[in-house]
Amino acid sequence: MINKMGAVSAPLILWLIIIIALPGIGQTTSSGLIEGSVVDIETGHALSNVKIILKGTYLKGVTDSQGRYFISNVPAGKFEIVATMAGYKKETKVIKVSSNRKVTVDFKLSASEVLLDKILVTATKTERSLDGTPIPADLVNREQIKKYNALNAGEAIEQLAGLHFYKSYGPMENEKLRVQGLPAGYTLTLLDGERIEGRFPLTQIPAELIERVEVVKGPSSVLYGSDAIGGVVNVITRSFPLKPTVSAGVSMGSHEAKIITLSHSASVSDFGYLFSFDRNRTEGEERERNWYKSENLFAKLGYQRDSRNNFILRGGYYHEDLSARDEEKFDFGLKGKVGVGNTSDIVVKGYGVQSRDKTHVGGSEDATISDADKYRGEVQWLRKFTDRHTFTLGTEILYEKLQQKLEEESPDIDKDQHLESIYIQDESSVGPFSLLGAARLDYHSIWGSHFSPKSALLYKATNWLDIRAGI
């Protein structure tokens, strides 16, 4: 009887011990929770994609579209918690986490112009710090443009080593930008990441419109195509301000040069707009041969819910009149970015330009008229595996049409061409090393297929020495 009772009571006693011990076990393994929100200190708008880091641990979080974050399984103790995001000043707070307790930590971040100035988007088509990209690049920010007293984008980059910018308003002249000694035709010029056309693409962009100019030196054909063998110059226009702004300027120079600029920009909730007008009159050294007149109108409208969900629509009209040439151009572009989950973004771009050039070749009374249309579309997928590893996959379509004729005659030239491309890029960082591997496959309707690989390496040997290599 006793044996039977012992056999039955043993498991009961074991269960009683487990039940009694459970509260103690829960207490020894319990942890805390950190939650909170992050907003812009000026606007009060929620900030998404802000990194929240618990120093001294591997724990971290990222804010969602509402600016909220959560960090669970935090051990009890005292910690430093950091909120950091590109374009904003880093903020650090000291907190104490208790077992089975929730701690609320909110942040209000203020914009940092210095940090924004160090961010590049041209070198890899992704945001990278200036000193963290394996591809050689330079940047001219707004303060430097004012210091140089530059009137346009061309003058803004004249001071950079390895660049030579030249312009002439002669009858058959245009501006030329040479990077590292290569002919001007090997350098690609962009405005907000889109190609700009014309004989004076950099001269036509007034300094008042510019936020910064990014210059990539060396081959960039893997991301931008064969017209970027020498390098890329990307002019980034001003972002929408927190408060309405109005500016006007008048400049005068030699040869009776007069330049008038007007601009206005503002933001309303998540929407913003920017308008700019520029008028240039120059008599030239020989009034009958090299006078120059131009008008340039630019507009940009945008919506930004957060850094991963935004949309921008822009357009412009440009007209220039020289002694033997008259050119008129209208262009438009759009760019949209949508966040997918916590780690992927889809970027869609579109661009179109229609232009007419009337040139009196050799002083002929009848002008040669060239009508050119160009349209481009691009879709890009970015996948961020970690803070130090990003993968990019993109496809691009380009269509061009050209008609050329003498005045009042049928077209002598009527041609078109198209280009389809696909490219991939992988960026990663390990310790002091930053690695980039990329490849692009182009199919041209006339020249056929072409494959372009690229690899680059950055080694940060010391705080003052960076070593870059690429093939």
Angle at 216 between CA 263 and CA 115, to 5 degrees: 60
- Reference 382, options 370, 394, 373; nearest CA is 394
Residue 424 has a CB neighbour count (10 Å cut-off) of: 15
Q: What is the mean pLDDT of the chain?
A: 82
Q: What is the topology classification, in CATH, of domain 113-470?
A: Maltoporin; Chain A (2.40.170)
- The domain spans of the chain are 1-27, 31-109, 113-470
284: pLDDT confidence band, cut at 50, 70 and 90? low
State the Cα–Cα distance between residues 25 and 33, nearest whole angstrom.
19
pLDDT at 24: 41
Q: For the CA atoms of the chain, what is the radius of gyration?
A: 29
User: What percent of the chain has a predicted confidence (pLDDT) above 90?
Assistant: 31
pLDDT for 268 beyond 70: yes
Lowest mean pLDDT among 172-186, 310-324, 337-351, 438-452: 172-186
Highest average pLDDT, of 4-8, 303-307, 435-439, comes from: 435-439
User: What is the identity of the amino acid at 186?
Assistant: Y
Query: For residue 150, what are its two tokens?
Result: 């530059």
State the Cα–Cα distance between residues 317 and 302, nearest whole angstrom.
19
The structure's pTM equals: 0.71
169: pLDDT confidence band, cut at 50, 70 and 90? low
pLDDT at 317: 93
- Top pLDDT among 245 and 169 is at 245
- Per the CB < 8 A criterion, the answer to whether 144 and 133 are in contact is no
Q: Residue-wise over 352-381: b if at least 16 C-beta within 10 A, else e?
A: bbbbebebbeeeeeebbbbebebebebebe
- Per the CB < 8 A criterion, the answer to whether 391 and 385 are in contact is yes
Angle at 202 between CA 280 and CA 321, to 5 degrees: 40
State the Cα–Cα distance between residues 425 and 128, nearest whole angstrom.
14
392: pLDDT confidence band, cut at 50, 70 and 90? very high
pLDDT tens per residue, range 112-124: 654 444 666 777 7
pLDDT at 243: 79
pLDDT at 457: 92
State the Cα–Cα distance between residues 365 and 37, nearest whole angstrom.
69
- Reference 184, options 208, 161, 159, 167; nearest CA is 167
> Under CATH, which architecture does the 31-109 domain have?
Sandwich (2.60)
- Reference 60, options 89, 81, 39, 86; nearest CA is 81
Torsions phi, psi for 76 (to 5 deg): -65, 140
The 3 state secondary structure assigned to the chain is: CHHHHHHHHHHHHHHHHHHHHHHHHHHHHCCEEEEEEEEECCCCCECCCCEEEECCCCCEEECCCCCEEEEEEECCEEEEEEEECCCECCEEEEEEECCCCEEECCEEECECHHHHHCEECCCCCCCEEHHHCCCCEEEEEHHHHHHHCCCEHHHHCCCCCCEEEECCCCCCCCCEEEECCCCHHHEEEEECCEECCCCCCCCCCEHHHEEEEEEEECCCHHHHCHHHCCEEEEEEECCCCCCCEEEEEEEEECCCEEEEEEEEEEEECCEEEEEEEEEEEECCCCCCCCCEEEEEEEEEEEEEEECCEEEEEEEEEEEEEECCEEEEEEEEEEEEEEEECCCEEEEEEEEEEEEEEEECHHHCCCCEEEEEEEEEEEEEEEEEEECCEEEEEEEEEEEEEEEEEECCCCCCEEEEEEEEEEEEEEEEEECCEEEEEEEEEEEECCCEEEEEEEEEEEEECCCCCEEEEEC
pLDDT tens per residue, range 422-452: 999 999 989 889 999 999 999 999 999 999 8
Look-up of token digits 């249309």 = 373
pLDDT at 38: 93
Query: For residue 53, what are its two tokens?
Result: 């880091």
pLDDT for 130 beyond 80: no
